[in-house]
């Protein structure tokens, strides 16, 4: 395992970290933002486009790929890298979030969870051992333990879920057989500092290859999310990568890098792109369906060098939206993904140069209500 995976810090500014995580399919330079390819595809984007915009890590989802087309078929076809024609590192979420979002059709016990498929209602069961076996068939570089994502404000539920999450983490470690996959533990605990600290200490003690922070960006206040990250940051080991699951707006990336996070993923960039919306680096969102852009000759963002901004005007993009052309979703998603990928890259460069605090301070974020899209739960797109 040590030969296949190694994390090294290359620079630090306050709690912000620049690192390098070696995997069998290439080095990951952190901090980084990973596009979400739930069903072994990033919606509306080709693998070649992902490479052109500088993506280095893509996330796929165990729940969805287990149900369709099936993890054994993916294994027979050479694993996810061959199946989706992505040569760089892949991370698979365990499917725990998706299963636990099926509140009306799942039953949890100490051994695992029974659930009904959102596709056809068929009955299935996930245990820690089965989730590891599925991910070993899928063949991602980074795999996740099965955890229980509890409602963040419910103290009693979080206490109960934490016991299961910790027991399942141990069982996942024992079930893992492949040395060419890094297994990450997941810290839970809602918005309760003592539970987060307890979880971080326990998960860190088990010797995972990296650590994820789950159960955030699911309805809690931003201040609570930041506070929980700060609790965990003081406990998790410095020599392992830290992955904040399902979080990714420009402001979130800056604020959470400040607090020691290395890896991010989020469905929001492509979800916004399919809903006529783009964000600027300032965090401001534009709804390009609005009539004010009908004759606008400017690109989405004058300072952006993505393919969309270099080639097309807001007027053309609005035309595609009005005409219901599929290209609209592709071009808007390219811009949104490029914005987050390169924001993380630029902040990494700032950490290495030693001027991260100054660069971060100059990123003044503007706020507005969400645009016809629920931005609060940033992992819903990967839900059934």
Asked whether residue 370 is assigned to any structural domain, the reply reads no
Q: How many domains does the chain have?
A: 2
Among candidate residues 267, 291, 315, the one where a domain is terminated: 267
- Helix, strand or coil for residue 195? helix
Task: Looking at the structure, tell me whether residues 217 and 290 fall in a common domain.
Answer: no
Q: What percent of the chain has pLDDT over 90?
A: 89
Q: Looking at residue 374, what is its pLDDT?
A: 47
Task: Looking at the structure, tell me whether residues 204 and 294 fall in a common domain.
Answer: no
Task: Looking at the structure, tell me whether residues 101 and 181 fall in a common domain.
Answer: yes
Asked whether residue 368 is assigned to any structural domain, the reply reads no
Q: Looking at residue 381, what is its pLDDT?
A: 53
Q: What average pLDDT is seen over the chain?
A: 94
Angle at 344 between CA 343 and CA 350, to 5 degrees: 90
pLDDT at 378 over 70: no
Q: Residue 81: which of 136, 5, 138, 38 has the closest Cα?
A: 138
Alpha carbon 136 to its chain centroid, in Å, reads 20
Task: Looking at the structure, tell me whether residues 156 and 90 fall in a common domain.
Answer: yes
- CB-count burial class (<10 Å; 0-12, 13-18, 19+) for 235: middle
Q: How far is CA 294 from CA 289, 297, 303, 321, in A?
A: 8, 9, 21, 11
Task: Looking at the structure, tell me whether residues 208 and 315 fall in a common domain.
Answer: no
**With b meaning 16 or more CB within 10 Å and e meaning fewer, what string describes 307-336?**
bbbeebbbebbbbbbeeeeeebbbbbbbbb
Among candidate residues 234, 267, 300, the one where a domain is terminated: 267
pLDDT (mean) for 63-74: 98
User: Which residues span the domain enclosing 335?
Assistant: 273-362
Q: Looking at residue 104, what is its pLDDT?
A: 81
Task: Looking at the structure, tell me whether residues 54 and 194 fall in a common domain.
Answer: yes
pLDDT at 372 over 50: no
Exactly one of 71, 252, 262, 265 is catalytic; name it.
Answer: 265
Asked whether residue 367 is assigned to any structural domain, the reply reads no
Would you place residue 74 in the very low, low, confident or very high pLDDT band (cuts 50, 70, 90)?
very high
Task: Looking at the structure, tell me whether residues 111 and 160 fall in a common domain.
Answer: yes
Task: Looking at the structure, tell me whether residues 158 and 262 fall in a common domain.
Answer: yes
pLDDT (mean) for 46-73: 98
Based on the residue annotation, tell me whether 374 is a catalytic residue of this protein: no
Task: Looking at the structure, tell me whether residues 39 and 177 fall in a common domain.
Answer: yes
The span from the CA of 217 to the CA of 375, in Å, is: 9
The span from the CA of 374 to the CA of 370, in Å, is: 7
Based on the residue annotation, tell me whether 180 is a catalytic residue of this protein: no
Task: Looking at the structure, tell me whether residues 250 and 167 fall in a common domain.
Answer: yes
Among candidate residues 223, 252, 267, the one where a domain is terminated: 267
pLDDT at 296 over 90: yes
Written in H, E and C, the secondary structure of 115-157 is EECCCCCCEEEECHHHHHHHHHHHCCCEEECCCCCCCCCCHHH
Task: Looking at the structure, tell me whether residues 239 and 287 fall in a common domain.
Answer: no
Asked whether residue 306 is assigned to any structural domain, the reply reads yes
Task: Looking at the structure, tell me whether residues 43 and 109 fall in a common domain.
Answer: yes
Query: Residue for token digits 């999450």?
Result: 165
The reported pTM is 0.95
- Domain harbouring 145, CATH code: 3.20.20.105
Exactly one of 93, 147, 209, 262 is catalytic; name it.
Answer: 93
Backbone angles phi, psi at 185, to 5 degrees: -85, 160
């Amino acid at each position: 395992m040590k030969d296949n995976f190694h994390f090294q810090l290359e620079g630090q500014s306050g709690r912000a970290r620049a690192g390098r995580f070696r995997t069998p399919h290439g080095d990951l330079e952190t901090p980084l933002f990973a596009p979400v390819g739930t069903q072994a595809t990033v919606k509306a984007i080709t693998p070649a486009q992902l490479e052109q915009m500088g993506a280095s890590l893509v996330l796929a989802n165990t729940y969805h790929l287990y149900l369709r087309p099936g993890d054994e078929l993916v294994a027979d076809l050479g694993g996810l890298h061959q199946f989706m024609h992505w040569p760089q590192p892949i991370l698979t979420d365990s499917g725990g979030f998706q299963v636990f979002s099926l509140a009306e059709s799942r039953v949890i016990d100490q051994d695992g969870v029974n659930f009904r498929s959102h596709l056809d209602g068929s009955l299935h069961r996930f245990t820690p051992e089965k989730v590891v076996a599925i991910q070993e068939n899928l063949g991602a570089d980074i795999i996740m333990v099965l955890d229980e994502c509890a409602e963040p404000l419910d103290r009693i539920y979080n206490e109960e879920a934490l016991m299961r999450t910790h027991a399942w983490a141990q069982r996942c470690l024992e079930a893992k057989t492949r040395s060419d996959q890094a297994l990450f533990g997941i810290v839970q605990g809602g918005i309760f500092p003592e539970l987060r600290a307890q979880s971080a200490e326990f998960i860190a003690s088990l010797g995972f290859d990296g650590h994820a922070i789950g159960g955030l960006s699911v309805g809690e206040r931003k201040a609570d999310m930041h506070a929980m990250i700060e609790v965990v940051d003081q406990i998790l080991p410095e020599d392992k990568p830290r992955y904040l699951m399902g979080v990714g707006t420009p402001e979130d990336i800056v604020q959470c890098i400040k607090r020691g996070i290395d890896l991010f993923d989020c469905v929001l960039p492509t979800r916004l792109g399919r809903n006529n919306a783009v964000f600027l680096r300032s965090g401001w969102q534009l709804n390009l369906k609005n009539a004010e852009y009908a004759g606008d000759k400017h690109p989405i963002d004058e300072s952006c060098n993505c393919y969309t901004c270099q080639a097309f005007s807001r007027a053309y993009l609005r035309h595609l939206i009005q005409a219901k052309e599929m290209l609209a979703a592709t071009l808007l998603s390219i811009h949104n993904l490029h914005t987050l990928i390169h924001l993380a890259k630029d902040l990494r460069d700032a950490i290495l140069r030693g001027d991260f605090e100054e660069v971060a301070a100059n990123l003044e974020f503007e706020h507005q209500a969400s645009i016809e899209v629920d931005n609060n739960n940033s992992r819903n797109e990967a839900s059934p």
